Amino acid sequence: MGKPTGFLEYERETAQVLEPKERIQNFSEFRVPLSEKKQSLQGARCMACGVPFCQSGVMLGGMVSGCPLNNLVPETNDLVYTGNWEQAYRRLKKTHCFPEFTGRVCPALCEAACTCGLNGEPVSTKENERSIIETAFENGWVKAEPPKIRTGKKVAVVGSGPSGLAAAMQLNRRGHLVTVFERNDRIGGLLRYGIPNMKLDKKVIDRRIQLMEEEGVRFVTNTDVGKDIQAKELLKDYDRVILACGASNPRDIQAKGRESKGIYFAVDFLKGVTKSLLDSEFKDQAYVSCKGKHVVVIGGGDTGNDCVGTAIRLGAKSVTQLEMMPKAPDGRAANNPWPQWPRVCKTDYGQEEAIAVFGKDPRIYQTTVSEFIPDKNGNLCQLKLVKLKGEKDEKTGRMRMVPVAGSEEVIPAEVVLIAAGFLGSQKYVTDAFQVEVDQRTNVKTGEGYQTSKERVFTAGDMHRGQSLVVWAIHEGREAAKAVDQSLMGYTNL
C-alpha cells in the first residue's frame, strides 16, 4: 500500500467526457483519459483492504460482488500509484485476457464492491486498468506470445465473442492448435456488432486479433457452423469443440400490429449501423435510417441505452425508451447494503445525450406496448402504450407486472427497436451438436463445462445466459482449463 492516507487526500477523478452535443456528431469514442500523473493519484486512493471485496467475485444478495476474473486489484492499483506501469501490466495479464475491452464496456463490479465506496466514492479501478493496458500497448509491452512447443491437439471454437476469444487465447498459448469459426464477416461477436463504435472502437478489437493471429490462432469468418459446415465435420477434424455462440435468440414483443414495417431487434439494428460504418462510413446506407423519425426503444438495459445513443447520432426526431419495471432508487435501499451490487438508477451516456438534445430523460417506467399501429401502407406510425403495476401471482407467489386498465395512451413512432433481452442459444446449433439444453435453452453442462456430448464443451452466454463481457471472459478461461485437462490429463492454465 503505497499511500496509506491516499483515500483521504485525493478525490475520485475519471476521464473527461466530451459534452453530449459535441460527441453525438460522430461515432468516435468520447472519453479523454487522465494524464499519467493524475491517474497515478487515483491508484493512491486504494486502501489495500484486509478483505478486498473488489476482487472477490462472490454471490451476495443474489448478485455478484467484485470482479469475476479475480483481478489482483489492490496490487495493480498500488503499482499504478508507484508508477510501475509495466509491472502493473504483468500483474493484470495474470488473470485477464482483454482489459482493453472491459476497460471500456464493463459496469465495474470491482468498483461497486470497493471499500472506499462504503462511505464515499470508490477507487476508479476500471479507469486504472484501462490506463494500464493502453500504456502497455503504447510502450510495446503487449506482444504476441506464440507457444514454444505444440501439443498437436486441435481445438475448434465456434463463436468469436469474448468467451470464444478468451478460450482460444488460453488454449493456443498452452500449445494446442486453435481454429475460431465466426458466422459474421468480421471477428468479435457482440463485441464487434452488438456494442456501438463510440463505446468500443473496433480498432481495439482488430489490434488484439492481429496479435492472436501472430500467436498462431486461425480465424475463419463467414462460416455458420450447423449450416455451412456440419457438426460431424468439426468432431472428425478436431479433438475438442467449444461452443461459444452466445445467447442469440432475442426476446420478442407480441402485440397487435407486430407485423408492421419499422420494427427491429436491437442487435440487428446495431449490427447494421456498425457494419455500414466499417464498410463505407455510412455511404452504402445499408442501415436503418432514424433521421427525422420518432424512435422508440423497448428495454432499459445496456443494449437499450446503446440504441438511444445510436438513434440520436443518426438524427432521430425524438427518442423514447420504455421500461417495464419501476424506476430504481437513486441511492441504496436498506435491503441492498454494501458490498452487494447497488440496485440504483443509473443514467448512462445515451440517456445523458437524450436529455441534452431533447430536454428530458427518454425513459418511461412501468410501461409497455399494447399495440403497434401502422398506416395504410403497413408502415409503423404510432404505438399504443399501457401502464403496468406489480401484482403477486397467486399460484407461484411471484410478483409480475400487469396492465393497468384505462391507462392506455398513443404516441408517434416510426422506428421501434426491441431491446428486451435474449432467451438463450439458437436451436440449429444445439441440434447440430445434439447437446442438451435447460428450460432457458442454455446449454447444460456437468462439471468442467463439458456438455452432454462427448468432446464438446461450452462457454459464455450460451452456457450461463445473457450476461456481461467480464463474465464471458471468465467463462472462456474456465472452459479452456476444462478442455486442456481433458486433452492432457492435467492443466497449468
What per-residue confidence (pLDDT) applies to 133?
98
Report the alpha-carbon angle 198-180-419, nearest 5. 40
pLDDT recorded at residue 1 = 63
* CB burial of residue 178 (10 Å; 0-12, 13-18, 19+): buried
How far apart CA 290 and CA 282 sit, in angstroms, is 13
**pLDDT tens digits, the chain, 493 residues: what are they?**
668 899 999 999 999 999 999 999 999 999 999 999 999 999 999 998 889 999 999 999 888 999 999 999 999 999 999 999 999 999 999 999 999 999 999 999 999 999 999 989 999 999 999 999 999 999 999 999 999 999 999 999 999 999 999 999 999 999 999 999 999 999 999 999 999 999 999 999 999 999 999 999 999 999 999 999 999 999 999 999 999 999 989 999 999 999 999 999 999 999 999 999 999 999 999 999 999 999 999 999 999 999 999 999 999 999 999 999 999 999 999 999 999 999 999 999 999 999 999 999 999 999 999 999 999 999 999 999 999 999 988 888 888 999 999 999 999 999 999 999 998 899 999 999 999 999 989 999 987 899 999 999 999 999 999 999 999 999 999 999 999 999 999 999 9
CA pair distance 193, 108, nearest whole angstrom: 22
Among the listed residues 311, 285, 315, 313, the one whose alpha carbon sits nearest the alpha carbon of residue 298: 311
154-248+423-488 matches 263-418 in fold:
yes
Rounded to 5 degrees, what angle do the CA atoms 374, 380, 385 make? Answer: 85
pTM beyond 0.85, yes or no: yes
Other beta carbons within 10 angstroms of residue 228's beta carbon come to 11
Task: Look at the domain 154-248+423-488 and name its fold.
Answer: FAD/NAD(P)-binding domain (3.50.50)
Question: DSSP character for 490?
Answer: S
pLDDT for 67: 97
- Alpha carbon distance 293, 339 (integer Å): 43
Topology (CATH) of 6-138:
Fumarate Reductase Iron-sulfur Protein; Chain B, domain 2 (1.10.1060)
Domain ranges of the chain: 6-138, 154-248+423-488, 263-418
Q: Among residues 136, 63, 44, 140, which one has the least CA distance to residue 99?
A: 136
Residue 223 main-chain phi, psi, to 5 deg: -130, 110
Q: Please give the pLDDT value at position 62.
A: 86
Class in CATH terms, 263-418: alpha beta
Separation of alpha carbons 434 and 417, rounded Å: 33
- Predicted local confidence at residue 2, as pLDDT: 66
Distance, CA of 440 to chain centre: 20
